[in-house]
Structure 1
Amino acid sequence: MQSKTVSTEILAQYGPKLVTTLPGPNARRIVEDDDRLISPSYTRSYPMVAKRGRGIRVEDVDGNEFLDFAAGIAVNSTGHCHPEVVKAIQNQAAELIHISGTDFYYEALVSLADRLSSIAPMPGPHRFYYGNSGAEAIECALKIARYHTGRQNIIAFFGAFHGRTMGALSLTASKPQQRRRFAPLVPGVTHVRYPYAYRGCSGGPQEEEAFALGCARYIEEKLFKTTLPPEEVAAIFVEPIQGEGGYVVAPTIFMQELRRICDKYGILLVVDEVQSGAGRTGKWWAVEHAGVEPDIVCIAKGIASGMPLGICMTRAEIMDWKPGSHASTFGGNPLCIAAAHATLDVLEREGMANAKHRGEQALSRLRDWPAEHSIVGEVRGRGLMIGIEIVKDQKSREVAPALRDRIVDLAFERGLLILGCGETSIRLAPPLILNEHEMTIALDILEASIEQTEQEHASASSLASASV
């Protein structure tokens, strides 16, 4: 494609390179084999079959090169195969691959914990539990909250995604299919409304703030006075920016009110930073934007650049359980710890600041899109965690998942990898190391895909009106 904003030379250097129709012959063959052999529970958006990745680029099995604005669902924070991360993994693999921190000691567990403690969003001392994924970090937080408080009930939010293992799934309230036919789930979880202002009120900033405050105060003013004794609530689990829920940013006043409620009733505030943490929003943790100090932080995804690592970080006095209460054979694997150290090096040196600057670059352009494109309802986000809400029309704000999916497909056909989130939104979550040209080219591709979808939608609407 041609670009309105960059030269042919820059596009040739930094843009996607498509050499076959999509999917290519090798991709088609592998997709057919995948359909025959792999669990149908996976949700593939389009037939991209990856072979190798470098930086922000992914090459498929037919030699096509894509710009990756999904980053393995916000996992590849330092890009694909960052040389420092690769070297750290290779060096560690030659020394010690596995010993199990459940039963033996090794220094890397302590060194990473010390490092994370220094950037924690709440004052220390801290303690750390290592698992293999975000869901495992959530499971740990759920268990430790009940163990420490001696209370059984948990509050979570509609739109939340905390994972698919049974405890994490019980907190998840994102899509019905994620929970369908798995009941009974873990009891004691109550879901309340998240401050999704675009779907909750139609006023200006003052009304949105009041709406957010009302969502938090509902817990104290309604739940605690009717069905849920506050002295039996162990924790409130919240995403500072909902991920699967639509990249919805929690207003500062909402997070502050949750902290007040937790302090008043002796409830633990657990923040799920699995997708929003590790520098993605321009700060180490998204909760820092609100100036709120949590009791427990759940970490995964971008912390180890693609190696499986989930971490539960707590105030030290909270993690007071006895040996044998909880453990993981592979949690804190030496290779994953080495990758995390290298990842933190890159993010500390350049990635986190770049996320802030590239996010500002993107939002300065994207903020105009609701005025320029009738099917763009709202743009929101922090750093390189940006959501674009797609609607059938801006007046009704009617959800448009089919239009959203069409945009995602067209972007793929043009060489840009993006994913949907929520019922009707697009997420932008590229590696934190992308440059200005790559951001510009990706936004050009996305805007062209939106324009085509908008035209198709207008034509289909005109035909429908004419046939009535």
Structure 2
Amino acid sequence: MVVRPNVKELPGPKAQEIIKKNFEALAVTTQDPDTLPIVIDHGDGILVYDVDGNVFYDFGSGVGVLNVGHAHPRVVEAVKKQAEKFTHFALNDFFYENAIILANKLAELAPGDFPKKVVYQNSGAEANEAMMKLVKYGTGRKRFIAFYHAFHGRTQAVLSLTASKWVQQERFFPTMPGVEHIPYPNPYRNPWHIDGYAEPDELVNRVIEFIEEYVFRHVPPEEVGAIVFEPIQGEGGYVVPPKNFFKELKKLADNYGILLADDEVQMGVGRTGKFWAIEHFGIAPDTIQFGKAIGGGIPLAGVVHRADIAFDKPGRHASTFGGNPVAIAAGIEVVEIVKELLPHVQDVGDYLHKRLKELEEKYEVIGDARGLGLAQAVEIVKSKDTKEKHPELRNEIVKEAVKRGLILLGCGDNSIRFIPPLTISKEEIDVAMEIFEESLKAALQ
């Protein structure tokens, strides 16, 4: 039997007290108690139970972390077993076998017929920081190209790559110099304002031409170490580029000896129905940055990269907790669970996409429904004709949804992402779509 969400009061009395104490004790800038006033007590798969007994569907997967769901029993057991042996033994100074086992699994899953190595970190931002150091050290080149609307983290160096929202940059200038940004080929909201429908080939050609004509007019291409990208832009709105985009980008990169650095922190580990999202596009990047979901909720991240750009001297790069043994144990189990789930993700992902497309046809304010696997989103607009963004309505929909027990997260300026745990069933998707439609109607009133 499918358990349905059940919300009586939000926030309830216990939650109100904890939220008040939270802002007194913690220096946080991203939590919004007016939109998502949820204080979790425990989770189970797709379900979140708060301290007042309310029950929710987590269609945010802990912000992209819980691909295998809350408290997956196999992950919990792996963590318990490892914690009973040892919880830390710094991988930058010592050795343990599980770190090698997971690295070999990740390298084997990564596309590309070339030797690979892995460097472990603790977060997606750290993984991208390590990637930048690898590129600089391994190629001798110091410049990077990234994309507008990209999100690669908030630490000081990778903040230079991030171009999602200006608030992430405010009062932190100067960031690391040497990064150029270019438009991302968005089939729905193309950056060149081409009249009518923009053909995929035309969008791709415009990006390649922009690099050749504008970036390489003032930046020597032989100084560019890597083009950094998300295979699907996450915080930028879950934008899926044209199918041939990365093949054309790779041709350009290979022509100038530039590496391709693939940020899979949000889209990797089975989210799109492939273990790595870049597998949908038929190329082998030179680096893959991973994080979020790989540890099943335990902090773990890193880079799978070409072996020929590896740090080759002690002290070049290190992390006290990168590759923590408890996180590694969780990661090994997560990899196996996700591999088993991939056919299911493709099936239920197609079903979720179909349901969202039906709503797109039904409602004038849903301008576009898009995605791969269980990385889906809708873009909220004032009308389909103008495509004018409607962030206020998007925010109201999210608020109405959580009142009814459906946790949704915004992305981009005006989109809503649908990223439930990969274990979700079609019956649970039907319940979520029912709640989403009710929330949309309530927000429109």
Alpha-carbon distance, 1:341 to partner:
0.8
Match of 2:429 among 415, 435, 439: 439
Alignment of structure 1 residues 5-84 onto 2, 5 Å:
13-18=2-7, 20-44=8-32, 45-84=35-74
Contact 1:216 1:254 in 2 (8 A): no
AA aligned opposite 2:4: G
Counterpart code for 1:84: R
1:426 equivalent to 2:413? Answer no
Q: 1:378 aligns with which of 368, 372, 395?
A: 368
Per-residue displacement from partner, 1:81-101 (whole Å, max 9, x unpaired)?
000000000000000100110
SS of the residue aligned with 2:308?
coil
TM-score relative to the length of structure 1: 0.92
Q: Quick check: 2:369–2:379 contact (8 Å CA) kept in 1?
A: yes
Q: CA deviation at 1:205?
A: 6.3
Instruction: Say whether 1:342 aligns with 2:333.
Output: yes
* Cα distance in 2 between the residues matched to 1:353 and 1:305: 19
State how far apart, in whole Å, the 1-side matches of 2:431 and 2:194 are: 33
CA distance in structure 2 between the aligned counterparts of 1:413 and 1:160, rounded to whole angstroms:
30
Counterpart residue number, 1:7: none
Matches within 5 A, 1:44-443: 44=32, 45-200=35-190, 201=193, 207-224=199-216, 226-349=217-340, 351-443=341-433
Aligned pairs, number: 441
| One-letter amino acid matched to 1:35 | F
**Preserved CA contact (<8 Å) 1:148 1:321:** no
Alignment partners' CA distance in 1, 2:197 and 2:273: 23
Query: Contact 2:187–2:242 (CA<8 Å) still a contact in 1?
Result: no
Q: 1:114 offset after TM fit, Å?
A: 1.0
Q: Do the aligned partners of 2:137 and 2:309 also contact (CA within 8 Å) in 1?
A: no
Secondary structure, counterpart of 2:188 in structure 1: helix
Offset of 1:206 from its aligned partner?
A: 5.8
1:251, distance to aligned residue in structure 2 (A): 1.7
- Which residue identity is paired with 2:338? L
For residues 151 and 311 of structure 2, the distance between their equivalents in structure 1, rounded to whole angstroms, comes to 27
| 8 Å CA contact 1:238, 1:272 repeated in 2 | yes
Shift of 1:144: 0.7
Deviation at 1:202, TM superposition (A): 5.9
| Structure 2: unaligned runs, 5 residues or longer | none
Residues in 2 aligned to 1:195 and 1:219: alpha-carbon distance in whole angstroms: 13
Name the TM-score, length of structure 2 as normaliser: 0.97
CA contact (8 A) 2:151 2:161 kept: yes
Deviation at 1:352, TM superposition (A): 1.9
Secondary structure of the corresponding residue to residue 309 of structure 2: coil
**DSSP-derived class of the 2:146 partner:** strand
SS of the equivalent of 2:189 reads helix
Query: Structure 1, unaligned stretches of length 5 or more?
Result: 1-9, 457-468
Mapped partners of 1:228, 1:352: distance in 2: 41
State whether residues 187 and 241 of structure 2, in contact with CA within 8 Å, keep that contact through their aligned partners in structure 1.
no
User: What is the alpha-carbon distance in structure 2 between the residues aligned to residue 204 and residue 390 of structure 1?
Assistant: 19
Contact 1:241-1:247 within 8 A present in 2 as well: yes
- SS at 2:141's partner residue? coil
CA distance in 1, matches of 2:241, 2:307: 27
Q: Which moved more, 1:329-338 or 1:45-54?
A: 45-54
What RMSD, in angstroms, separates the aligned Cα atoms of the two structures?
1.3
Give the superposition deviation at 1:419. 0.3
Aligned-residue offset at 1:217? 2.8
The one-letter amino acid paired with 1:198 is Y
Question: Alpha-carbon deviation of 1:437?
Answer: 1.0
1:296-341 CA distance string (max 9 Å, x none): 0000111111110011010111214421111100000000000001
Whole-angstrom distance in 2 between the partners of 1:330 and 1:294? 26
Query: Structure 1 CA distance, aligned partners of 2:47 and 2:25?
Result: 28
Query: What CA distance in whole angstroms lies between the structure 1 residues aligned with 2:313 and 2:147?
Result: 30
Identity, in percent, stands at: 44
Task: Provide runs of 4+ in structure 1 moved above 3 Å.
Answer: 201-206
Aligned partner letter, 1:86: V
